[in-house]
Amino acid sequence: MATGTTSAPAQDERRRAPAGKVSFLASQRGRELTLVWLFLLPSLAIFALYRIIPMIWNVVLSLEFWSPYKPATFAGLYHYQEMLFYDDAFWEVVWNTILFMISAPVGIALALGVALMVNRPVRGREVYRTIVFMSYPVMTVAVGIIWQWLYNENVGLINYMLISLGVIDRGIPFLQSFDWALPAVIIASIWQVIGFYMIILLTGLQSIPPNLYEAASIDGASPAQSFRRITLPLLKPSIFLCFVVGIINSFTAFDLIFVMTGGGPGHSTDLLITYIYSNAFRLSKFDYAAAMTVANFLLFVALAFLANRLAGGDAGSVKREA
Amino acid sequence: MRARHWPTHLALGIVSAIMLLPFYWVLKTSLTGENIFVYPPALLPVDPHPFFFVDVWYAIPFFRYLVNSVIVSVIVVVANVFLNAMAGYALTRDFPGKAATILLFLSCMMIPFQVTIIPAYLITSKLGLLNSYFGMALPLMSTIVCIFIFKAAFEAIPKSLIEAARIDGVPDWMIMFRIVMPLTKPAIATNVILAFIWSWNSFLWPLVIVRDVEMQTLPLGLSRFLSVVEDTTGALYAFCVMVLVPGLVIFLLAQKEFITGLTSGATKG
């Protein structure tokens, strides 16, 4: 590992003179602390500017009447009242966001299947792994454009395949349909993120000691049993992690929805994040959008917390049982 | 007890086909254009030609978008490597407030950038950075995941090496850049690839702060082209392919570092 850089320290052995030990340490300590904070400063500044202050500002803004054109006045809970009681679209959008978030387990289950297969000693597993993962790092805007093309009513590949298989008679305008638009977007989103789930689950699978399986098979456990009693419990943390990724995906799905449907038809594919965007940057209702951002963040934290409790609680009980 | 592998291969083959089909379809369309009047759609490219790619080059300021994207990505990548390495190095030291700093970083990790866009936009506009490369890069310039990757890499370096250099009178900042950082090439590679992919694909943030067409990056240009050209032509898909290829090539070249970075970040979070 160390190549070519060891020459400077190599010389010092001879020069280890104990000259002025105490004052040396004191000044050294002072300089070290300065350096530590100087090194931390840029990163801390960026996180303060773009994470911490915005979170506080969101809350403040949500309690004000504010627009770029006039000074702020205190609004109390006005925006929250409007949001909860008078904005019908808000509840539709919240429901869409929750649907989007809780669709994550579908993708995770599929990814688990793939991860289990790729984890077996089959030839070319690296190739399969790369192919499945390849959709994750590509630009989401491009993914959106590709999928809205696949969903095309007349010449889209998906309609063509469904017609060829005899599932439907005529093409469905998936992204223009109130019933199909959200599931269609969710499928595209799962397609993109499934590789990431698979990688997380693979890492989890590879950290399970193989001798557990050997012991189980000596004890006469069937593969299904060892999957249920060994793999699943030990994979709980990875699955939880996937779920958090899935929830966060409901924020990053902005790109996908912006390109594929723009939130339409109506609000049927609007998630909170896209609805916030249009309220703030199309309608200039920054204050109202800030209130919804607070709601969005709370929803995210609540679901992550719930998932954590589920994963933690279950994992403990299964361990005791086994 | 040696399991037969063909069912696994069959299943993985089907999965791979599903994952690859969208890529294939967009590539096919970019070479042949769309024939709305031909049904069924041809599965294989009929009369492929490169003219849509030529269209993209001449009809769209593709080069401009590309340059903008590259500039922002370079700023982001360089800033990330230095700032994260510095912060990671600081976190290997003992200092008052260390636990609080780590806690702060970890809680910042729980704040998705998307929920900060409104104040982030207002802050950036107060800083006078709307419509600028630096403004586009600034929020992405340090990444908590990568700080912890650097921290772990630095901790793996023998303490005696650093001590020796320090006793030898090498200033601390120089120890970091001249002695420690060259030993953590894998961490640097991971950080470079992660920062590049994130900034290359970043869409919402530039969408919010860029008003000027001249400043648009590739994803913005792509989505703008989609909305301008209502009846989609092959050029849109050629544009898509041209945007996808650089990202994919870089991913395939640095796949290992990318995956290491993502999973180490994931297990930390």
pLDDT digits (tens, 9 = 90+) for B103-154: 999 888 888 888 899 999 999 999 999 999 999 999 999 989 899 999 989 9
Between chains, do A203 and B22 touch, taking CB under 8 Å as contact?
A: no
* Structure-model confidence comparison of residues A19 and A259, the more confident one: A259
Helices B234-253 & B185-201 angle (0-180, nearest 10): 170
pLDDT number for residue B136:
93
* DSSP track, chain B: -----HHHHHHHHHHHHHHHHHHHHHHHHHHH---TTSSSPPSSPSS--SHHHHHHHHHS-HHHHHHHHHHHHHHHHHHHHHHHHHHHHHTTS--TTHHHHHHHHHHHHTS-GGGGHHHHHHHHHHTT-TTSHHHHHGGGS--HHHHHHHHHHHHTS-HHHHHHHHHTT--HHHIIIIIIGGGGHHHHHHHHHHHHHHHHH--HHHHHH---GGG--HHHHHHHHHHH-SS--HHHHHHHHHHHHHHHHHHHHTHHHHHHHHHHHHHH-
Contacts of residue B263 in chain A, CB cutoff 8 Å? 199-200, 203
pLDDT number for residue B259:
85
Q: How close, in Å, is residue A121 to chain B by CA atoms?
A: 9
Judge whether A131 and B19 are in contact, CB under 8 Å.
Answer: yes
* Structure-model confidence comparison of residues B250 and A14, the more confident one: B250
Q: With cut-offs at 50, 70 and 90, classify the pLDDT of residue A15.
A: very low
How far apart are the C-alpha atoms of A159 and B20, rounded to whole Å? 18
Mean local confidence (pLDDT), A195-199: 92
Q: How close, in Å, is residue A117 to chain B by CA atoms?
A: 6
pLDDT number for residue B132:
92
pLDDT digits (tens, 9 = 90+) for B71-104: 999 999 999 999 999 999 999 988 899 999 999 9
Q: Report whether pLDDT(B264) > 50.
A: yes
Mean local confidence (pLDDT), A144-166: 87
* Nearest C-alpha in B relative to A304: B110
Q: Report whether pLDDT(A71) > 50.
A: yes
pLDDT number for residue B229:
66
Give me the amino acid identity at A52. Answer: I
- The first and second tokens of residue B264, run together, are 């180490």
pLDDT number for residue B35:
65
Between chains, do A8 and B113 touch, taking CB under 8 Å as contact?
A: no
- The first and second tokens of residue A292, run together, are 């919804």
Contacts of residue A168 in chain B, CB cutoff 8 Å? none
How far apart are the C-alpha atoms of B1 and A167, rounded to whole Å? 41
How far apart are the C-alpha atoms of A302 and A269, rounded to whole Å? 22
Q: Report whether pLDDT(B193) > 60.
A: yes
* DSSP track, A63-89: TEEEETTEEEEE-TTHHHHIIIII-HH
pLDDT number for residue A22:
52
Contacts of residue B110 in chain A, CB cutoff 8 Å? 301, 304
Proportion of chain B above pLDDT 70, given as a percent: 93
Instruction: List the alpha helices (DSSP H) in chain A.
Output: 7-11, 21-47, 53-62, 78-81, 88-102, 104-119, 125-133, 140-150, 157-164, 181-206, 210-218, 223-226, 232-252, 254-260, 272-277, 286-321
If we measure between CA atoms, which residue out of B91, B148, B151 comes closest to residue B263? B148
Q: How close, in Å, is residue B257 to chain A by CA atoms?
A: 13
Q: With cut-offs at 50, 70 and 90, classify the pLDDT of residue B260.
A: confident
Q: Report whether pLDDT(A21) > 90.
A: no
pLDDT number for residue B255:
85
pLDDT number for residue A169:
82
Mean local confidence (pLDDT), A288-295: 93
Chain pair A-B, CB pairs under 8 angstroms: 284
Q: Report whether pLDDT(A81) > 70.
A: yes
Q: Report whether pLDDT(B7) > 60.
A: yes
pLDDT digits (tens, 9 = 90+) for B27-56: 988 888 776 666 667 777 777 888 888 888
Mean local confidence (pLDDT), A31-41: 88
Between chains, do B147 and A43 touch, taking CB under 8 Å as contact?
A: yes
pLDDT number for residue A312:
65
Mean local confidence (pLDDT), A73-94: 88
pLDDT number for residue B203:
93
Smallest Cβ–Cβ distance between B9 and the set A10, A122, A134 belongs to: A122
Judge whether B138 and B124 are in contact, CB under 8 Å.
Answer: yes
Instruction: Check if the interface score ipTM surpasses 0.90.
Output: no
Between chains, do A11 and B182 touch, taking CB under 8 Å as contact?
A: no
For residue A284, the Cα-to-chain-centroid distance in whole angstroms is: 28
